[in-house]
Amino acid sequence: MDPVEALMVDSPERGHTDALLILQHGEVLSEHYAPDVDSSTPLRSWSMAKSMVHAAVGLLVQEGRIQPDAPAAVPEWAAEGDPRSAITLTDLLQMRPGLAWNEDYVDGDGSDVIEMLFARDWEPVVDTGGFAASKALVHEPGSTLNYSSGTTNIVARLIRDLVGPDEQFRAWLQENLFGPLGMDSADPAFDESGTWIGSSYCHCTARDFARFGELYLNDGRVGRRQLLDPAWIATASRGTGIDEEGRVHTSHWWLFGDNPWGAFQCSGYEGQYIVVVPPLDAVVVRLGKSEAGLRENVTAQLKALIDGLPS
């Protein structure tokens, strides 16, 4: 079966695909949608938003407003002698702060991510960054990969402290990131403290997700404008740790499995993908709903699709 057809047809092996878009040489090469979805439909990002947080941090780094290798300015860690005060922004971006965290979406028992995003004692968590920052240190900072949505929300709160909360934060993202990229549909969600819940929430159309991927494909350029430093873009494709499933994490991005093109990806729960393929000058977006156990089947079809792209 053709890889596009295999991805677009609902099946117990791959789940359901809402949108599949291939961008190559700056043009839409192929675009497909489920019957109830079209090019104007905002779709969930889930953890692909983490990679957008990486971009937002990069903007502040190049303005000199935040230092990646300096201890992160987190109030919960400010007390004299608190070992968490050694955690840097780089540790956070690489998911290696050393904080206790249980990222469990399935069983729910003891799941920190479910408690943070959906309920705490039957009430929504007001400050998602603070919830994560309150966790104890269980590993030396910088030593151990532990994928954590809470870690991202600590980073998002650091951004909030610099650009302002809630609508100020939204306006900053629009002016500095989404607007320049033409991502008119981008809709980030905020907690009650005014922090973008960057771990999980930025609805966009498939085309706008592709525009975000194209920023990284083009080494941070948008047209003639250098929006992000190429050196910052490079951190998205530089491996920093391997998780229990054998996936290589970078800095709020992932390498795209075992591939010959040096591709890297944003990855979201239930099979949301933006795959950046520099040698082929291509971005592939797949959005849908596939259980975690189907991930390998979905990525295998994406790999077959990429294999078939013109060089």
Which element (helix H / strand E) includes 156? helix 149-163
Q: Token digits for 82?
A: 């608190």
Domain end (from 129, 146, 181):
181
Residues 67 and 170 in one domain: yes
- DSSP H or E stretch at residue 304: helix 295-307
How far is residue 258 from each of residues 195, 204, 254, measured CA to CA in Å? 35, 28, 11
The number of angstroms, rounded, from the C-alpha of 126 to the middle of its chain's C-alpha atoms is: 22
Cβ 134 vs Cβ 127: under 8 Å: no
Whether residue 154 is found in the same domain as residue 230: no
Residue 7 near residue 302 (C-beta atoms within 8 A):
yes
What does the pLDDT read at residue 260? 84
Give the model's pLDDT for residue 255. 98
Does residue 96 have a pLDDT over 70?
A: yes
Distance CA 222, CA 278 (A): 15
Rounded Cα–Cα distance for residues 97 and 90 (Å): 9
Torsion from C-alpha of 187, 216, 209, 11, nearest 10 degrees: -140
Q: What is the mean pLDDT of residues 268-282?
A: 97
| Gap between the Cα atoms of 45 and 38, Å rounded | 16
Whether the predicted pLDDT of 107 surpasses 70: no
User: pLDDT at residue 124 above 90?
Assistant: no
Contact in structure between 21 and 301 (CB atoms under 8 Å): no
Tokens linked to 149: 């949505």
Predicted confidence (pLDDT) per residue in 136-185, tens digit = 999 999 999 999 999 999 999 999 999 999 999 999 999 999 999 999 99
Whether the per-residue pLDDT at 11 is higher than 90: the answer is yes
- Tell me what pLDDT residue 108 has: 59
Q: What is the pLDDT of residues 187-217, one digit of tens each?
A: 999 999 999 999 999 999 999 999 999 999 9
198 within domain boundaries: no
Distance CA 295, CA 173 (A): 31
Any domain includes 192: no
Q: What is the mean pLDDT of residues 254-280?
A: 95
Q: Judge if 165 and 112 occupy the same domain.
A: yes
Model's pTM, two decimal places?
0.97
Domain total in the chain: 2
237 & 289 share domain: yes
The reply to whether 57 and 160 lie within a common domain is yes
Is there a single domain that holds both residue 83 and residue 99?
A: yes
What local confidence, expressed as pLDDT, does residue 257 receive? 84
Name residue 42's amino acid.
P
98 and 127, same domain (yes or no) = yes
Of 181, 216, 249, which residue constitutes the final position of a domain? 181
pLDDT for position 119 = 81
Mean of pLDDT over the chain: 96
Helix (H, G, I), strand (E, B) or coil at 303: helix
Please say whether the beta carbons of 150 and 116 come within 8 A. yes
**pLDDT band per the 50, 70, 90 thresholds, residue 1:** confident
pLDDT single digits (tens) 32-85 = 999 999 999 999 999 999 999 999 999 999 999 999 999 999 999 999 999 999
Q: Quick one: 164 and 278 in the same domain?
A: no
Same domain, residue pair 57 and 168: yes
DSSP H helices, 218-294, are 230-234
Q: Which domain holds residue 112?
A: 51-181
What is residue 135's predicted lDDT score, i.e. its pLDDT? 98
Tens-place pLDDT, residues 222-245: 999 999 999 999 999 999 999 999
Do residues 301 and 290 touch, judged by C-beta distance below 8 A? no
Grouping H, G, I as helix, E, B as strand and the rest as coil, residue 269 is coil
3-state helix, strand, coil in the chain (%, to 5): 35, 20, 45
Residue 81 lies in a domain: yes
Any domain includes 189: no
Cβ atoms within 10 Å, residue 184: 14
